[in-house]
Amino acid sequence: MTVTVIIGTQWGDEGKGKITDLLARDMDMIVRYQGGNNAGHTVVIKDETFKLHLIPSGVFYPNVVCVIGNGVVVDPAVLLQEINSLKQRGFALDNLRISAQAHVIFPYHRDLDAAQEQKNEAGRIGTTNRGIGPCYVDKFNRRGIRIGDLGNTELLRQRLAWNILEKSFQLNNFYNYPVNYDIDQLIADYTKMFNEFKHLVVDESTALINQAVNQNKRILMEGAQGTMLDVDHGTYPYVTSSSPIAGGACSGAGIGPQEIDEVIGVVKAYVTRVGGGPFPTEIIGGMGDQLREKGHEYGATTGRPRRCGWFDGVVMKHASKINGITQLAITKIDVLSQLEKIMVCTAYEYEGKTITDFPTDIYRLAKCRPIYEEWPGWNEDLSKVTKYQDLPVNTKKYLERLAELAEAKIALISVGAERGQIIKLI
Ligand code: IMP
């Protein structure tokens, strides 16, 4: 096993950070391949909680090379804040590398994100307001500024001048969102920040990664967000602006698809979503509130309460297909203890018909009603279980049903936030 991709199978927040951290100790390299500081990974080590947004969770192991890949969008201020806070807590960070091809988030991206979200006609997506979407727009519109460009003041000035002109006009005149950017100040600020982390920047991140592939090193490609937030395969337009799916690793890190050996799908035992958009198995109030409190379901990035619902087998099947999942990591099963019954959605009812293929058109999706199976709960506390055979019978039945719907085998089951709270099956 050389290249493993780890992805979220739902709307993000499945607990990928903990699984990445767990796998990281056996890896030589971890590559983050898309997204930016819209993501939030919480890793608990002993009594310390670490919240990471950009830096891959593997950074806690000094021997693991951690790469922020070309497909990521980087807010340098957030990157520096993370670097400095980890350094203060004793991590040298000599193992971090940042691709010169990664795109840079500027204040006008954040302003555009906020302005768009305020304009009703644009349709509120409920973004994290970090400027992610507008930065990817510039990338694909070929006026983005990349990390490597920050070291070339002349080029930076030229690119910034055009961007500032365009964005100021758009914000001031179309969005009624008054802005006034000072190009000299921006150049000074971004150059200063770049100088603080430029020793970590690699010009050819794809060469670095492919060299590791050729040497049969163990590499973990870490996707942020989740399949249902994928710009192509999620609940468009209520999605993020990148490709969190396994295929995104090929473009976001620069490897060939045939190099991928395993795809681990991280599955939360129930489902959550932050922001707007369809969520067929959402539970409003009652049990939804109970799951939120018990599972501490508040956004790691924005602190927003997450919407909660039952496990959705249709979403799962969609994720299995799109990502080519070979193994499952099921998280937060402990949160479901003490429930009398647990519902599992196995199909949708759409205009009188039963369907199991996820409708990616949100108007068709809005007409879908989940069809549930009822499973008996269990009362036991699972937080100290380390062997599969020690799980209550009903927990095993529930997990086996999830695996059946996912058409993949379970490799890991997480029973708590701590590193040691894990059951390994493979
Ligand atoms: P953006 O990525 O900030 O543009 O937000 C687009 C949508 O993706 C919004 O619904 C966000 O709440 C959601 N989103 C972005 N990142 C994450 C994440 O890491 N976890 C969960 N939802 C996310």
Q: What is the pLDDT of residue 17?
A: 87
Ligand 1 atom nearest to CA at 132: 4
- Would you say the CB of residue 56 lies under 6 angstroms from ligand 1? no
Which residues are CB-contacts of 138 (< 8 A; sequence separation ≥ 6)?
A: 103, 109, 144, 145, 163
* End-to-end C-alpha distance for the chain, whole angstroms: 13
Residue 39 in contact with ligand 1 by CB distance below 6 A? yes
Q: Which residue has the tokens 């780890």?
A: 6
- The β-bridge partners of 273 are 307
Structure confidence at residue 122 (pLDDT): 65
* Nearest residue to 246 via CA among 220, 208, 271: 220
Give dist(CA 268, CA 270) in Å, integer: 5
Ligand 1 near 229 CB (within 6 A): yes
Question: Which residue among 7, 14, 38 has the greatest number of ligand 1 atoms within 8 angstroms of its CB, and so is best to mutate?
Answer: 38
pLDDT for the residue numbered 231: 98
Report how far residue 89's alpha carbon sits from residue 47's, in angstroms, rounded to the nearest whole number.
Answer: 13
E-assigned strands of 276-403?
Answer: 307-309, 311-312, 327-331, 341-350, 353-355, 369-376
The pick from 57, 274, 297, 308 for probing ligand 1's pocket by mutation, whose C-beta has the most ligand atoms within 8 angstroms, reads 274
Selected catalytic residue, list 53, 103, 109, 139: 139
* Distance of alpha carbon 309 from alpha carbon 283, whole angstroms: 5
Burial class (CB in 10 A: 0-12, 13-18, 19+), 80: middle
pLDDT for 360 equals: 85
Q: What number of other Cβ atoms are within 10 A of residue 50's Cβ?
A: 20
Please tell me the predicted confidence (pLDDT) of residue 42: 75
Q: Is 40 annotated as a binding residue?
A: yes
Domains annotated for the chain, with CATH where assigned, are 3-95+203-424 (3.90.170.10), 103-200 (1.10.300.10)
What DSSP state is assigned to residue 390?
A: G
Q: Say yes or no: CB of residue 274 within 6 Å of ligand 1.
A: yes
| Beta-bridge partners for 43 | 50
Task: For residue 302, say whether it is annotated as part of any ligand binding site.
Answer: yes
Please name which of 100, 58, 93, 38 lies closest in space to residue 220, comparing C-alpha atoms.
58
Rg (CA), the chain: 22
pTM recorded for the entire structure: 0.96
Q: Which helix (H) or strand (E) holds 66?
A: strand 65-68
Task: Tell me: is residue 77 an annotated ligand-binding position.
Answer: no
pLDDT at 1: 63
Q: Is there a catalytic annotation at residue 111? A: no
Can you read off the two tokens belonging to residue 139? 């990338």
Which atom of ligand 1 lies closest to the CA of 274?
Answer: 12
13 given a catalytic annotation: yes
Q: What are phi and psi of 70, to 5 degrees?
A: -60, -25
pLDDT in single tens digits along all 426 residues of the chain: 699 999 999 999 999 988 998 999 999 999 999 999 999 887 777 778 888 899 998 888 999 999 999 999 999 999 999 999 999 988 989 999 999 999 999 999 999 999 999 987 767 899 999 999 999 999 999 999 999 999 999 999 999 999 999 999 999 999 999 999 999 999 999 999 999 999 999 999 999 999 999 999 999 999 999 999 999 999 999 999 999 999 999 999 999 999 999 999 999 999 999 988 999 999 998 999 999 999 999 987 788 999 999 999 999 999 999 999 999 999 999 999 999 999 999 999 999 999 999 998 999 999 999 999 999 999 999 999 999 999 999 999 999 999 999 999 999 999 998 889 999 997
- Give the separation between CA 111 and CA 417, rounded to whole angstroms: 35
Ligand 1, atom 20, residue with closest C-alpha = 12
| 68 labeled part of a ligand binding site | no
| Any atom of ligand 1 within 6 Å of the Cβ of 275 | yes
Choosing from 13, 21, 111, 149, the catalytic residue is 13
Q: What span, in angstroms and rounded, lies between the C-alpha atoms of 373 and 167?
A: 51
Tell me the sheet residues that pair with 330: 267, 413
Residue with tokens 């995104």: 248
Q: Is 139 a catalytic residue?
A: yes
DSSP helix/strand/coil, 88: helix
Residue type at position 315: V
- Write down the pLDDT at residue 419: 85
Query: Quick one: tokens of 193?
Result: 């920040």
CA distance 363 to 26: 44
Of 109, 229, 272, 362, the one to substitute when testing ligand 1's pocket (max ligand atoms within 8 A of C-beta) is 229
Query: Exposure of 287 by Cβ count < 10 A (0-12 exposed, 13-18 middle, 19+ buried)?
Result: middle
Give the integer Cα–Cα distance in Å for 29 and 39: 20
